[in-house]
Structure 1
Amino acid sequence: MPARVHAVVVVRPDGRTPAALHLRRTLTAIAALHRPVDALTIVLCGADEELERIARDATPTHIRTLSLNTGYAAAVAGAISDIDEDALWLLAQDTAPETDALTHLVSALELAPSLAFVAPKLTRWNDRSELVSMGATMTRFGRTVMHAEGQLDQGQHDGREDILGADIRAILVRTDAWRDLGGLDAALLGADQGLDLGVRARLASSRVSIVPRARVATAGDGVAGVPAPISPQRRQRAAYISRTAQLHRRLVYANPVAAVLLWLSMLPLAAWNTVLLLLRKQPELIGPEWWASLTALGRPLAILRSRRRLAEAKRVPWSQLAPLRVTGSQLREVFGTDEAGESPTVPTRRDLRFFTGGGAWLVLAALVTSVVAFPALLAWPVLGGGALQPLRTTVSRLWADASYGQLSLGWDVVAPADPFSTVVALIGSTTPWQPSQAIVVLWILALPLAALGGWFMATRVTERSVLRMTAGIAWALAPTFLIALVDGRPTAVIVHVLLPWLFVAASVAHRSWAGAGAASLILVAVIAASPSLAPAVVALWVMMLLLVVAMRGGRGASRLVWMLVPTAVFFAPLIWHAIATGDGWVLLADPGVAWAGPQVAADATGRSLLAAGIPTPDIAGWATLLPEGSVWWVPLLVVPLALLALAAPLSQRWASGIALLVVAAVGLGTAFAAVGIAVVFDESEVVALWPGAALSLAWLGVLGGALVTLDAALAPRLRAARAAGAVVVSLAIIVLALPSLTAMARGTAYLDRGDASTLPAYIAAEGRDDANVGTLVLTPQSGGGLAAQYVWGGSETLGGQSTVIATQTTATEQDELTGTLAADLVTSTDSAAIEELAAQGISFVLLAVDDGDETPAARALRLSATTSLNQRDTLEGVGETAKGELWRVVADVSERAAPSEETQTMTTIVAISQLAVVGIAVLLAIPTAATRRAARRTPRVVGPYWQEGR
């Protein structure tokens, strides 16, 4: 029967709180015990004058000083090498027992000789009603589960007695059992030491018990146990220690064969857990996971020592521990307790009300409007006109165009593909039987998708159904969006459809990894479709980051940083190319087909139209309906929306209003700048950046600001005024949209039925099965010049376009050779030019027909070129086609040069990098039960209460 107790207090001055504050309370509590200790040893890990003074004032039996990096197990072992008391009480600087704690612990140990050690009820340092631990257990695979951790102490667990193990802090151990069990395992690094000691005690046929009446307060800041995860650094440290301990125990507890297999599978297991951590939205734990795996993998001697200690203590089989382990169902119950209820102080998310609030009817109405406005699309297999072109005929070709390597245009251009090609490949893959049809489906669904996006965007701003309906209407009928649909601008359509979802995800990215993951994926597509938005996005991102740092102390900053990572990875090859060539403008160029369609000029009149959200000089199509000079009033239709947006800073939610106005200002400023920048060439014509995508961003900010005003600036009793404002805005936008919605019926749309190929059917048939079929396309220019372009495969395609080629201003050696060959072909009959074409793999020469009105100079050049080409023996005339006159090279045509080994290596590296970052983003974006529970505890509307920092 133990009569004497030796207490060991280990102190290390490296916690978040000065150790002296905790040590004073602990030593004071020990001195006030009803049942005093018989001996007290204080172990100081690291020399500290104040701690030494406090320790001496407590008049302990012994004071020992060890090095600062001494672990708890080593400190205890060094302090009790010559102990002769009957029981050992393991304490730390932050374990303050209540006055009767030792009395209850000693009584429990005296009454049950079979007990190896007993553990107290651990409570929070400053709140004795919150439990830290009432024992510990583990799963079949060694996962540690603390009993009652984080629960309020209502006596609900006081009936528990037998436990498998316990938190190491404040346990009372029989001295003889301590020696028989070999003490603590230092290889556990401080985690699970009490659990491991309990496992060995149980296998030695002893018992372990919890004493609920004995209460000890702990701060989680001492040398014993795992540090409390109260900061990102401490969370990672705690995760590393816990994971290292778990892996070490697995290797120690397993039989020899299983231990070897576990050791060999350590790194593959870390890779698998990396995926799971991403899926659980815990990427900050990936580093600790790998570091812990490498630590456990690199300590075979420590594993052998621990296995030997376990073997020496073992007396009973492992099956004796089964009743004390936690089962899968029990584990789910333990970790699912937060579903039972939520604190009334936490805001609860309301129902979405998509169907009852009219959202479904809005989307259906938008679909009907789309069919009525574009009825011919239901029968068209391919879209043409404007900046549209067909897609590749197979999915594999789509993705080949999206990879780094040889481009499908140019002589033998090796360069990074535009990220927009990946977006095109993704869209085309949705209809693998005919990829071009996916663009037709996108056009049909564009209006309902925009209405859906606008409605969901409004859910981040307001809970009112009428305002969400207004947002859906205003977003779907935005003039810049309808103009993009009518003119055939796929990049602008994609940006407008995606921007609301980017707002939905990015607005909560600071508080949710799921939001950050989704936003990072959407942002890639948005910037890929409109690189000119990148400066605006970066500016807004910096503002968000500064707000998070200022208002949330940096919590969530890592999530915001991740938002830009996928975009940076996808654009990295293009950025590297721009640095290497010294041409940074390529990074801002609009991808896809270079088309100088109608758009406002960079003058006062043009920018005034941009301020009204209209990017074309025909004033959103009204100039084609009304006489010239009678459409001055059309831009005034956006005035109600603009006035409501400007009033947003005056509402109760002024912070949200200001933020949305900043979005509008950044978007409008980007549109003003874009219209005056021209970096792309359409043969001999310079094409300015399309400002419509930036106007979509500005429209989002203005619309959001107007919703804030209608939602928060009016008193609840003014429901009629709120509804009237929503109706006025909706009617004004509908009137503004009428010309665009009727453009197809009136024949003023650039959108048209497209061909399956931009080349003659003869070439398209051969290029269907052979992507290396080369065609030299010669196009007479209006000024008498000649444009020459190489096309590989059966057609030019939307995904095969390249801003590297479209923005090129300096002729390369290949360009000069191409110009010489083109000149020779149309001015002489020398066969050397044809032989050079055949050597490079060119099989066809096409003299293209100008779609517009042919100038006399262009006609004269075309006629002389036809004469010259017909006189060549090495060219065989195929005939006149709808695409122009075609000749076939009859000389021996060589195969197109295969990409070099260096190019293939770079292609692999780029593909793996992009796939990896997309995989990570997808895993982060996938919702889980935990993220859904967390979302329900936060309001859907972002920023309704400024003081919450949401």
Structure 2
Amino acid sequence: MNRELSSARAFKPVRALVVTPGDSQYLDATLEAILSSTVLPDRVSVVDTSADFLLAEVKSDWLDVISVPGATSLGQVIAQIDSIEEPLLWLLHDDSAPAPNCLELLALEMEKGRTIAACGPSQLDFEGVKLLSAGIEATRTGWRMPLNDDIDQGQCDDRSDVLALGTAGLLLDWQKVRAAGGLDPSAGRYGEGLELGRRLHLAGHRVVLVAKARVRHAQESFRGERANPAELRRSRYYNAALAVYWFAVPFIALWALGSGLTRWLGHTVRGQRAQARAQLHAAIAFLTRPGKVVAGRSRIRRARIMARARLAPLELTRAEVRAERKIAKKIELDAARPAPLEPVAAAAVVARRGREKAALAASLVVAGILNLFLTRGVWAHPYGGAWLDLPSRWRDLAEAAFSNWIPSGLGEAGMADPILAILCMFTGPFAAVGISPSKAMAFLFAFLPLISFATAWAGTGVVTRAPWARTVGAFGWMCAPFFLIGMHQGRFAPSLAHALFPLIVWAVAGLVRAHAPHLAFGVNGKEVAGELGRPHTRAFVGILALLVVGAASPILGLSGALVYLVAGIYLLLTHRPGGLIGVLAGVPMLVAISPSLADALGKGHLPTALLSTAGMPVQTPNVPTWALLAGVPLAAKELLALLGAALAVLAVIALALPERVVSARISWLCLLAGAAIAVLSASVPAGVDENYNMVATWPGPGLTLAWVGLVGAAIATLDYLRRPWRKKPILVLGVALSLVLLIGGLGSGTYFAISPTPGSFQAAPNRQVPATQQGVQDSGTRSKVATLRPTSDAIEVSLLRTNTASLTGRNVLSSPQTPGEGAAAKLRSAVANLASNSGTDVANELADLGVGEVIIPRSVLGSDEVASPSTEQALARNLAEKIDAAKGITRIGSNDLGILWRVRPQSARLKVGDQVVPSGYLSARAKIGASPSVRTLKLAERADSGWKASLGGKALEATNAAGLQSFEVPANLGGTLRLSINPLWIWPWRLAYGALVLGTLAAAIWPERKEVVTWKLGK
């Protein structure tokens, strides 16, 4: 560096300022380029920003070395060095080597225009081939236009005035720049060029690109150790806050907060921890330093003599940038494409994909027709069996779904069934267009067979790409006998879990990049074309499916979470992407079901909580578990040996396949685990059915897991046996076994489509109460309907809060509680007085329980035209006569539902004295006037310590009125009444649940590049 500076000078004295973080690998090349310039600067200053001042020992008579430790931008450098006396300042980075005529062209341009305050060169890569920048083109918020790695062909030589310029090679008229406020130290190295360009324009100056001047720029600050993505993002927030009008600055802050959190979450769930931290740090750094924004806007305000509208022609719209970035994305994807297949193999792969799509289309048509026959009874609305409806109003469903109170007849403490939260989210859009939750639920239930076929088709793609094998596997999954039995019995939750479980298999396989490829013959042997799709997107879709499956069947959800966990640990140990996703995949599902499981654990019913599913307990048909596993219709005994043998042969062969060792053993592990769960279910009680018989839990979830293994092993074997290079006898065996399984699956579906199943639901009107009472139930009074069914030794009574038995009135995860003596005894006493016609004030007793109407169903009474009624019908008619004689109870009519009576005085869920207080499904909020006397607030719910009430901000003291909840209202107290049952932890749980669902949904729809790979297997 001891060369003398040439006597050649620029037109005005120029000082070159080269900023370097120590002795970098590009510094010598940059200084040599300066010395090779046709016009040399008068002074060259090298600014060392390293902490140890590595250039201190450099001795030269043509440059001086300045130490500014810790400076991260040119603005900070200039703010700390001595005053600059030269009229022109030439800014260079250590990795920006100017062309020989660069300074000459810049100085000539500066001499031509009196209003030019800054001019800069085009920036090329360090090899001088690709064009990196031809001025900064950006939107008002700093979204920049990419150049897509264009080769420099002079395509930007006609550009002149630009919005801003990069600081590498930038020549400044220092007097004008200093008068406009100099460089902003707070803009940072990534944003100071854009900020300076805008401010110079507003100060009445020009910013000009000299396109023929060139600088070779390595852009080290965008990669390697110098890269700082947090500072890059912060500088965009900062420039956006300076560019907008003052009243929009708070919106920029909100944008920074939301964008930082969203990007942090997106990168975190994808395992990109460094990028996640950078996004969060950028938002924090911007939001915690509002003084810098104030100072930056003050600097612009002092310099500005022109309106902001002057910048509009130079700024881009978001549509222009979006279109160019779309092109950049396409270029990136094209560059990432793998080596193409040989033409022969490529044609074979295209043909295979065409056959696969044709098979899927044809199979969907057949599956759709079969679905219509299987669920034809659902369209008239299901009733009976295990089916339970939802409240008629979505608001009531939302209130019950996230509560720890079960609104049964008298109410009971316990967490709502987790499936209610899923149904609440699913039925919300339907409710917005006037469709009730029950109808939306029935609509989903009607298409579960078709959904199960579609998900099974996706899941079979993990094992094989053969259309025939995938068709067999999908129909086998759709027509699984235990699934169809559950559908016929109205078992919504386990049927939903069965329909969605293949998505978990599909997602985990995508996460570990284990999707089955296409095989084809090329000139040089077999080639493979694997379409991995979007693995992270698939993983998050699987996590959403896992959430639904876990809410419908906790044991299946925990099994799926375990699969994700094993996959995540494997990816972490092998240092592959996606490990953190697999490890944390079960968190949303665990958050959803953990309150219910904890509630069941505290009551000593954890096995029931794990193995049970939502719905009315129904007796399981007397079918051996091994028969259901074999996929045989109940009455087709003659096919038992044939189909069982076929499945057993395929599963056993899978263990011996040399190419299927891992998948076969995983399939058998699923088969054995599922069979164990199914057998265990037979010994765990789920509750009592409508005839008060103890019922065991439904083995469907265990059979679903077992069916995953059975179908997986079977189609793996079929795929192996039917490959075109196998010998003819093996091909014949594969075809024969495929036909046997396909005929068995379709035969199973056909059988259940035309034959009844024990415990099946019926197509019936979706109400058990009169329309008048339904309106009262949905109003503020929230009165109940007492349904009476007399038997030879008792009277069965049930209290309905909705028009039918509701899914919100049960919690199968918490085993049914034994009725206590308080509220249950009061109900028994009221019914006994009603049946005995004892002369007591039974109407008030019923009103205290919130009963507004009494009904004896028509199914118990029988037809009025029957001359000789049965014993039960006679008992029911005798009971009706006694109710007619009761005081305060008036018969209002008889119709197809039964005989109806109305209770007087008016009953309501919530009363203050005799005044009816409007109430919600569970909570209440209403205005109550003051009274000079002490009153009692009566709630027609079982007494529980969780109930809290306040009036006018003052907490009310709870009392116990014969087992029902009540509160004492002091004299002269009025105001807004607030009644709730939710403990303090319920709101944090709701927020966590909602945040996890929204975060997972956002991650599932986050754009991701599609992964495609090809490789050769050889001859």
Provide the TM-score with structure 2 as the length reference.
0.72
**Stretch moving more, 671-680 or 835-844:** 671-680
- Secondary structure, in 3 states, of the residue corresponding to 2:137? strand
CA contact (8 A) 2:356 2:466 kept: no
Q: Residue 339 of structure 1 aligns to which amino acid in structure 2?
A: K
The 1:516/1:759 distance shift into structure 2, 3 A limit, reads: same
Tell me how far apart the structure 2 counterparts of residues 306 and 880 of structure 1 sit (CA, whole Å): 80
2:703 corresponding residue in structure 1: 695
For residues 58 and 694 of structure 1, what CA distance do their matches in structure 2 show? 80
2:299 to 302, 305, 309: 309
Matches within 5 A, 1:729-748: 729-735=738-744, 738=747, 741-743=750-752, 745-748=754-757
Which residue does 1:548 correspond to in 2? 571
1: distance between equivalents of 2:124 and 2:672?
Answer: 53
Residue equivalent to 1:796: 805
CA contact (8 A) 1:453 1:500 kept: yes
| Structure 1 contact 661–701 (Cα < 8 Å) conserved | yes
More deviation in 885-894 or 188-197?
Answer: 885-894
Confirm or deny: 8 A CA contact 2:572 2:580 kept in the other structure: no
Tell me the residue number matched to 2:157: 159
Deviation of 1:529 after TM superposition, in Å, equals: 1.8
- For residue 184 of structure 1, report the CA deviation from its aligned partner: 1.8
Matched, 1:903 2:980: yes
Contact 1:404–1:416, Cα closer than 8 Å, also in 2: yes
Q: In structure 2, do the counterparts of structure 1 residues 513 and 207 end up closer, same or farther at CA, with 3 Å as the change threshold?
A: same
Q: Which runs of 5+ in 1 are unaligned?
A: 12-19, 222-226, 252-258, 615-619, 852-858
Take 1:460 and 1:832, find their aligned partners in 2: how far apart are those partners? 69
CA distance in 2, matches of 1:84, 1:733: 89
Change (3 A) 1:593 1:240: same
The aligned runs of 1:603-752 (5 Å cut-off) are 606=625, 608-609=626-627, 612=629, 620-622=632-634, 624-626=635-637, 631=640, 634-643=643-652, 645-646=654-655, 650-651=658-659, 667-668=674-675, 670-682=677-689, 684-708=692-716, 710-711=718-719, 716-718=724-726, 725=734, 728-735=737-744, 738=747, 741-743=750-752, 745-752=754-761
- More displaced stretch, 570-579 vs 199-208: 570-579
- Please, which moves more after superposition, 906-915 or 165-174? 906-915
**Secondary structure class of the residue paired with 1:358:** helix
Q: Secondary structure at the match of 1:182?
A: coil
Alignment match, 1:495? 497
Is 1:249 paired with 2:242? yes
> Structure 1 residues 675 and 40, CA, compared in 2 at 3 Å: closer, same or farther?
farther
Aligned twin of 2:27: 26
Write the deviation string for residues 730-772 of structure 1: whole angstroms up to 9, x where unpaired: 5325325635632464444532424336746599667665582
Listed as ranges, the gaps of 5+ residues in structure 2 are 1-10, 341-348, 513-533, 861-870, 912-918, 924-948, 950-977
1:845/1:909 Cα in 2 relative to 1: closer, same or farther (>3 Å)? farther
Which has the higher mean CA deviation after the structures are superposed, 267-276 or 889-898?
267-276
Task: Tell me, yes or no, if the aligned pair for 2:890 and 2:902 is still in contact at 8 Å.
Answer: yes
Alpha-carbon distance change, 506 to 354 in structure 1, aligned in 2, over 3 angstroms: farther
Cross-structure match for 1:82: 83
Distance 1:643 1:912 in 2: 48
Q: 1:923 and 1:390 mapped to 2: Cα distance? A: 31
Q: CA deviation at 1:103?
A: 3.0
Relative to structure 1, is the Cα distance of residues 719 and 861 closer, same or farther in structure 2, using a 3 angstrom cutoff? same
User: Letter of the aligned partner of 2:909 in structure 1?
Assistant: E
Whose helix proportion is higher, 1 or 2? 1
Which residue matches 1:381? 380
Q: Are residues 632 and 753 of structure 1, via their aligned partners in 2, closer, same or farther at CA, if it must alter by over 3 Å?
A: same
Post-superposition offset of 1:63: 5.2
| CA distance in 2: counterparts of 1:130 and 1:561, whole angstroms | 42
Aligned length: 878
Percentage of identical aligned residues: 19
Match status 1:47 vs 2:56: no
Change (3 A) 1:406 1:329: closer
2:17 alignment counterpart: 7
Distance apart, 1:564 and its partner CA: 4.4
Query: How do 1:349-368 residues align onto structure 2 when only pairs under 5 Å count?
Result: 353=354, 356-368=357-369
Paired residue for 1:855? none
Contact 2:565 2:583 in 1 (8 A): no
Partners of 1:90 and 1:551 in 2: how far apart? 46
Question: Are residues 807 and 247 of structure 1, via their aligned partners in 2, closer, same or farther at CA, if it must alter by over 3 Å?
Answer: farther
Residue pair 1:136, 1:147 contacting (<8 A) in 2 also: no
The Cα RMSD (Å) is: 5.1
What is the match of residue 224 of structure 1? none
After superposition, give the CA deviation of every residue in 1:303-325 in whole Å (9 maximum; x if it has no partner). 45434433555566656555543
Q: How many angstroms apart in 1 are the aligned matches of 2:154 and 2:497?
A: 56
Q: Deviation of residue 409 (structure 1)?
A: 0.9
Q: Which residue is 1:856 aligned to?
A: none
**Structure 2 counterparts to residues 391-790 of structure 1, below 5 A:** 391-393=390-392, 395=394, 398-399=397-398, 401-404=400-403, 407-413=406-412, 415-424=414-423, 426=426, 429=430, 441-442=443-444, 444-505=446-507, 507-508=509-510, 514-553=537-576, 555-557=577-579, 560=582, 563-564=585-586, 566-568=588-590, 570-571=592-593, 574=596, 577=599, 584=606, 587-588=609-610, 590-598=612-620, 606=625, 608-609=626-627, 612=629, 620-622=632-634, 624-626=635-637, 631=640, 634-643=643-652, 645-646=654-655, 650-651=658-659, 667-668=674-675, 670-682=677-689, 684-708=692-716, 710-711=718-719, 716-718=724-726, 725=734, 728-735=737-744, 738=747, 741-743=750-752, 745-756=754-765, 759=768, 772-776=782-786, 789-790=798-799
Task: Spell out, residue by residue over 1:318-377, the C-alpha distance to the aligned partner (whole angstroms, 9 max, x if none).
Answer: 5655554334554244212133672374389979658952222212212333445566x3
The separation in 2 between residues aligned to 1:120 and 1:310, in whole angstroms, is: 25
What's the offset of the Cα at 1:383? 1.8
Given that 2:630 and 2:643 are in contact with CA atoms closer than 8 Å, whether structure 1 keeps it comes out as no
Q: Secondary structure at the match of 2:24?
A: helix
CA contact 1:409–1:801 (8 Å) conserved in 2: yes
Query: How far did residue 533 of structure 1 move?
Result: 1.4
Q: Which residue of 2 aligns with 1:17?
A: none
* Alpha-carbon distance in 2 for matches of 1:181, 1:918: 50
Cα displacement (A) at 1:76? 1.0
Look up the equivalent residue of 1:488 and give its one-letter code: G
Matched, 1:138 2:128: no
The alpha-carbon distance between structure 1 residues 817 and 539, as it changes in their structure 2 partners (threshold 3 A), is: farther
CA contact (8 A) 1:270 1:289 kept: no
Alpha-carbon offset, residue 110 of structure 1: 2.6
- Distance (whole Å) between structure 2 residues aligned to residue 160 and residue 665 of structure 1: 73
TM-fit CA distance, 1:42: 5.2
**Aligned-partner Cα distance in 2 for 1:308–1:803:** 65
Listed one character per residue, the Cα deviations across residues 575-600 of structure 1 (whole Å, up to 9, x for unaligned) are 56557767655752534323242267
Q: Alpha carbons of 1:160 and 1:324: their partners in 2 closer, same or farther (altered >3 Å)?
A: farther
Q: Which amino acid aligns with 2:980?
A: T
How far apart, in 2, do the equivalents of 1:71 and 1:214 lie?
25
Contact 2:789–2:876 (CA under 8 A) maintained in structure 1:
no
Tell me the distance in 2 between the aligned counterparts of 1:834 and 1:869. Answer: 16
* 2-structure distance, mates of 1:128, 1:582: 75
Instruction: Name the CA distance, whole Å, in 2 between partners of 1:812 and 1:216.
Output: 88
Residue 564 to residue 827, structure 1, CA distance change in 2 (3 Å)? farther
Q: Distance in 1 between matches of 2:814 and 2:799?
A: 11
Q: Does 1:334 align with 2:343?
A: no
C-alpha separation in 2, matches of 1:835 and 1:751: 39
SS at match of 1:185: coil
Deviation at 1:831, TM superposition (A): 3.9
* Residue 190 of structure 1: aligned partner: 189
Q: How far did residue 262 of structure 1 move?
A: 0.9
